[in-house]
Amino acid sequence: MGFFKAVAVVSAVMFSQLVAADLVIEVTDWVKDPTKIAIVPFRHEGAAIDQDMAAVVAADLTRSGQFEALPRDAMYSSPSAADEVHYRDWRALGVDYLLIGRSQATNKSVTLEYELFDVHRQKSLIKSRVGNRKGAERAVAHKVSDSVYQRLTGIAGAFSTRMLYVSVKTSPAKNQNTPKQMYQLILADADGARAREILKSSEPILSPSWSPDGKQIAYVSFESSRPAIYRQVIATGEREKLTNFRGLNSAPSWSPDGKRLAMVLSKDGNPELYVMEVATRKLQRITKNSAIDTEPSWMPDGKSLIFTSDRGGRPQIYRVDLNGGATKRITYTGAYNAKASLMADGKSMVMVHRDDSGYHIAWQELATGRLIILTGSSLDESPSLSPNGSMLLYATKYQGRGVLAAVSLDGGVRFRLPSPSSDVREPAWSPN
């Protein structure tokens, strides 16, 4: 599942263009009794806009698995102001909450005034206004979704966040040659919309990683005869090569303060963990062992790393202090545990866990070792946590194709994001 995977990329081309939406969302499991909400089409005035913002909000909340949106054709009316709301009608439709809004647009900007009502208590819960530049209607809608989600669940929304993933398209073989594959590093909204190509290569692209402020990314690519780790600024596309050592350069992981990158280098003969000061490129070697040490991830305090190693005979998760403390094994359930990421509080982690039925995404409490398997498919990898800690993205196989999927940390909500035109893999959820 990628633990000993070698990389070989021979060319990479930079792009900054919008690409067709590559992912299709399929919600497969909701909570047992989702909250029923009516999201009335927002009344619009001014310059024309391209997005139905109410539909975006409805899709966001439905995708969370926590809500069931009332179909528009079942609505008795379309209020856009509080004095137009008749609670009795919405109670008759079995609705718990009602969202209305009015949008205005000029050639430069768009604003949306919205209000959320508790139908049973007949009171307003949120009355607010959000705006953005013209053309950013989806961003406006996602902000409304975040606000509604937090008010009704007590958990911060993650609809305004973004994700990175690798898309792989295969062209038919010609003259009995091996089929040609094209790899793209894609940046998209959390719902897969507004996809933008960051990097394109005829060979694999690996290990995308976000800086904690969401302004930079790091990844592995090849621009010459050996792999290298690159850093790139999202807003400008500015990029620089951080490593170009002989052998393996892989698995970059940003520190919580954004000033350092943990990585795996084999420049001294064996894959070991290093930490680089990004500003000076000064390297600190962290591990020294004859086994393979890889896939570093930071503890929230930035003082230690967890990582995958086969030093015990099979891949397991270990923890190492950056100031020379002892290395401690932290997984004991199962013969294979890899690619771990810490929850924000540092008390638990998610990882790839193998049992008799295959590779799954699992959650483990650090203090007790208690482990819960979250996914039921058999080829799951690359878990990436949402910034609110309630969901995680991962890569898996579905109907013979690589897809992204998501599951809530309680295992109750699941959805898939398959692509109609490519295999997708290596997701990385943005921190904000």
| Residue 184, both tokens | 């793209």
Among left, alpha and beta (phi > 0; psi -120 to 50; other), residue 7 is: beta
Residues 6+ apart with CB under 8 A from 367: 347
- pLDDT tens, 62-108? 999 899 999 999 999 999 999 999 999 999 999 999 999 999 999 99
Residue 319 CA to residue 172 CA, distance in Å, equals 45
| Segments of the chain assigned to CATH 3.40.50.10070 | 34-153
Q: Which residue has the tokens 């307003």?
A: 124
Residues facing residue 346 across a β-bridge? none
Nearest-CA neighbor of 29 among 409, 415, 404?
415
| Segments of the chain assigned to CATH 2.120.10.30 | 12-23+161-429
- pLDDT tens, 289-342? 999 999 999 999 999 999 999 999 999 999 999 988 789 999 999 999 999 999
Q: Is the Cβ–Cβ distance between 76 and 89 less than 8 Å?
A: yes
Name the CATH superfamily for 34-153: TolB, N-terminal domain (3.40.50.10070)
12-23+161-429: CATH, from 3.20.20.210, 1.10.10.10, 2.120.10.30, 2.60.40.1260: 2.120.10.30
Q: Which residue has the tokens 């500003």?
A: 279
Tell me the pTM.
Answer: 0.90
Q: Which residue has the tokens 């990479």?
A: 12
| Residue 366, both tokens | 């650090």
Q: What is the DSSP letter of 84?
A: G
Q: Is the Cβ–Cβ distance between 207 and 214 less than 8 Å?
A: no
Residue 373 CA to residue 241 CA, distance in Å, equals 38
Output the CA torsion sign for 233, 239, 207, 346.
negative
Low-confidence residues of the chain: pLDDT under 70 = 1-22, 173-178, 225
